[in-house]
Chains A and B, each alone.
Chain A
């Protein structure tokens, strides 16, 4: 017999960025809010304690803050007729876990997508014709426009104290910023991070080639900053321990450093950690969520009634919970019908390693997750795709996250992988190797989707989520082209350039990106989307599914900026409309 808890107004399933944003907004609206987090508590003072946190072996190699794959993982296969096998070691993607989620150990690149990224199908059809979109590519519009979201991008950036330089203020181009960015209503809340040496070299080379490089918008706050919640952040000191670590300087924007101090002690908020939600419960009609069921730290099944349920877990887990709960029609690639699990997408990252002249001192240990310079000339639809024959693009950049001894001691191609040759190559390369990355978009396809695995189960006996995914010609062409642009910049700096372009099949063993998207996509048509433009389930009006699971396809930027904006956008609609009149916010 399950333990039954007292009903709350709203329950958050997952307590990373989206859970914290939504909880804060609803607590401020006076609701009784409960957040359930499957992992443990993480905070700056204990989890990111200085100097213990700067430990590459524990946090990167052994993934101290990541999901424990022995309890729950994903299975992968390349095509719908293949047999999926479990992802048993951290590789292509690093799934977060615990309070703060991946928002605690991310790097902090915080972009806004292009206006056309949000209306991708309409935009390409209009500019290049309907025939330009290949058969089997299932890209679609988000159902919400950039202009609608603009205030919420601003809100998220203000909460997170993003460091950057505007390139387009209300339609007016501003020198020094990204001239391709969609118009923003105000400058970034903190000035851009100072340029590390490699970024200065990248910017110089890019300028020589006629580009207009700009500082990457960074959630590594450049100076002490107090956000609209009254929460203060410290300044980034370029310690080089952002990615995979918590930030001991209180300077990397995370739920912990921007929201928790103004949320956790509120009387109408509670957080329960080590609670693994196993399903969303619905009433007999299936049209209304009644709460969730979770397994607590002692292995007991607990029923938590709630008037509103928010799936605020990582993209993969949001989709899995919908499938496990039988909410929404699962996607079937054979017929193309059904929606849950449809339009899974990812990112296609490539790049070059430039070996600068001997004697160059990059001092790579001076770094921050998003410290660097970028160009956007080859991203989105900022260039003519007509003769190129692919859709999408990449953000081309140099950002120096650090100079760690294990993972960031690169060597030229052809170097032996051990022994004296390897050692001397590391020694020779450490100060003069810099990477230029082309972080590319991935479109959605009829055969790329998420479903429940028929064979493998998690520690609680529930089916794992199965990922069916492989690279398509469009992305292979895109990365060939954009990595080529990165190589041009590198060659303006040095003759010794190693080019890394992905080919062949998707490989789960090699780290790529944790920017997975889709599976519970937003849209204006219930036959091709799981949630409406306010991230509200079409089927169950008191269920909201927040996060990158809503992206119908992925773009050439890190996703968190849009994830934050969508969270505030949904919160605004819920506070302004839904709470007064619960029901569908959009009529199907």
Chain B
């Protein structure tokens, strides 16, 4: 997920680590239940996404993140006194997590989603602290040298950013009694630890999320573009949002990485694999209930309706366009001439929010690069779509994507070879 934004964090904690040359102050012993709850909350916060390297020790950092200003490495957040956060007091921990200020006083890059974590209540921060101090094995892993040159490495502008965009932190005050408990729990997880908006809310000119809560306006979770993926609209819009998904569909998706309609792709694969598959059915239902409560950003858009016309033409051997012919030759084996795919195996293209998103970047990216579903405890099969970058030209990808976006009742604008060229360029550059 959001490597680009994650990348903004780093250096501050590195500096922090360098100051802690003494052994960790003995943290008060925490009871097992608290540690366990902290572990669960760390899953909900998906801390490992940025802080655990592939094949590396948990939370030892070192994940390389390419940014426009250079490569940075995530930091060691194990309780190692020398190289981790072993000498962090609860207040230090809280300040970094929710206020975006490192122990040494630096402001963190907002890749650390502290504007979201600000919503986490102190009670849960205590559990997280207990977990990171007592439930995680200390790892001696010095921070890697970031590759950001001066003057970009200066951090004082981040402090201004923080004072402008970071919200006040939450207190332990319970949700309003008028609020539905399920809805409140869902909102708490989505806005807070889940930091869904980090990807699914569009960013402003200063890279700030345009809305941190539903109250901030319809930009909240209305979709955002991250690393050549469009993180889908999670509001109840009918065509491009979750309007057609039931609460159960959303729960199944977050638990297994797929459902009858679709499958996780892009950064969401890691989110499911590392975070949401571990959440309780109750919490997943709360998240789904909350997402379903978000009004459409564009109310009044008519819902999509399946049309047999495309499938009839394809079955009769009359593909209407070159794109349709390319679809038959390359895509129909799995996604079928009716565009419905097979439930929880090959995603449906008909009426799919991903297909119908105004921004076609995800669809183009998937056709070029393919995708592998995350393996989860409840659905270990990692169905893989091959990439077609070697097989199809920019024009052909544009034709087939345009066909898909107008077939079976889909209703999304056409795509040009230029659109494809841009995605192909950045995707192959990132490889």
Contact = CB atoms under 8 A, between A and B. Distances in A.
Interface in B349-374: 372
Contact of A224 (B345, B375, B386): B345
B342 A45 contact: no
Given A49-B386, A250-B383, A230 B378 contact: yes
A234 B342 contact: yes
Interface residues of B, number: 19
A231 interface: yes
Interface string B317-345: 00000000000001001100000001111
A231 B345 contact: no
Given A224-B343, A234-B345, A235-B345, A45 B334 contact: no
A50 B342 CA distance: 17
Contacts of B377: 230
A230 B375 CA distance: 11
Nearest to B330: A51
B317 to A, nearest CB: 13
B381 A224 contact: no
Contacts of B343: 224
Interface string A128-154: 000000000000000000000000000
A261 B345 contact: no
Contacts of A49: 386
A267 to B, nearest CB: 13
Q: How big is chain A's contact interface, by range?
A: 20 to 34
A419 B330 CA distance: 34
Given A232-B344, A234-B345, A250-B345, A261 B375 contact: yes
B381 A250 contact: yes
B426 interface: no
A474 interface: no
Contacts of A237: 333-334
A262 interface: yes
Interface in A252-287: 257, 261-262, 265
Contact of A239 (B333, B379, B383, B384): B333
Given A45-B372, A232-B344, A235-B342, A50 B386 contact: yes
Nearest to B332: A237
Interface string A227-259: 001111111010100000000111000000100
B190 to A, nearest CB: 28
B333 A265 contact: no
Contacts of B372: 45
B380 to A, nearest CB: 4
B132 interface: no
Given A49-B386, A224-B342, A237-B333, A232 B381 contact: yes
Contacts of A249: 333-334
Given A45-B372, A249-B334, A231 B344 contact: no
Contacts of A224: 342-345
Contacts, number: 53
Contacts of A500: none
A89 interface: no
A230 B330 CA distance: 29
A85 to B, nearest CB: 43
A231 B379 CA distance: 6
Contacts of B344: 224, 232
Interface in B298-331: 330
Contact of B380 (A234, A248, A262): A262
A44 interface: yes
B60 to A, nearest CB: 18
B145 interface: no
B346 interface: yes
Given A224-B343, A224-B345, A235-B342, A261 B384 contact: no
Contacts of A231: 380-381
A330 to B, nearest CB: 43
A288 to B, nearest CB: 36
Contacts of A261: 375, 380-382
B379 A230 contact: yes
A45 B345 contact: no
Interface string A219-231: 0000010000111
A536 to B, nearest CB: 31
Interface string B198-217: 00000000000000000000
A51 B333 CA distance: 10
A330 B380 CA distance: 44
Nearest to A257: B381
B255 to A, nearest CB: 12
Nearest to A251: B345
Contact of B345 (A44, A230, A232): A232
Contacts of B333: 50-51, 237, 239, 248-249
B398 to A, nearest CB: 20
Contacts of A51: 330, 333
Nearest to B334: A249
Contacts of B375: 261, 265
Residue of B375, B381, B382, B384 most packed against chain A (CB within 10 A):
B381
Interface string A424-444: 000000000000000000000
Interface in A378-399: none
Contacts of B381: 231-233, 250, 257, 261
Nearest to B391: A51
Contacts of B342: 224, 234-235
B386 A230 contact: no
A45 B381 CA distance: 11
Contacts of A257: 381
A234 B344 CA distance: 9
Nearest to A256: B381
A249 to B, nearest CB: 7
A236 to B, nearest CB: 11
29 contacts: A45-B372, A45-B384, A45-B386, A50-B333, A50-B334, A51-B330, A51-B333, A224-B343, A224-B345, A230-B378, A230-B379, A232-B344, A232-B379, A233-B381, A234-B334, A234-B345, A234-B383, A237-B333, A237-B334, A239-B333, A248-B333, A248-B386, A250-B381, A250-B383, A257-B381, A261-B375, A261-B382, A262-B380, A265-B375
Q: Give 6 nearest A-B pairs by CB, closest first.
A: A45-B384, A261-B380, A234-B345, A232-B381, A224-B345, A261-B381
Given A45-B386, A232-B345, A237-B333, 10 more contacts: A44-B384, A45-B372, A50-B333, A50-B386, A224-B343, A224-B344, A229-B380, A230-B380, A232-B344, A249-B334
Interface of A: 44-45, 49-51, 224, 229-235, 237, 239, 248-250, 257, 261-262, 265
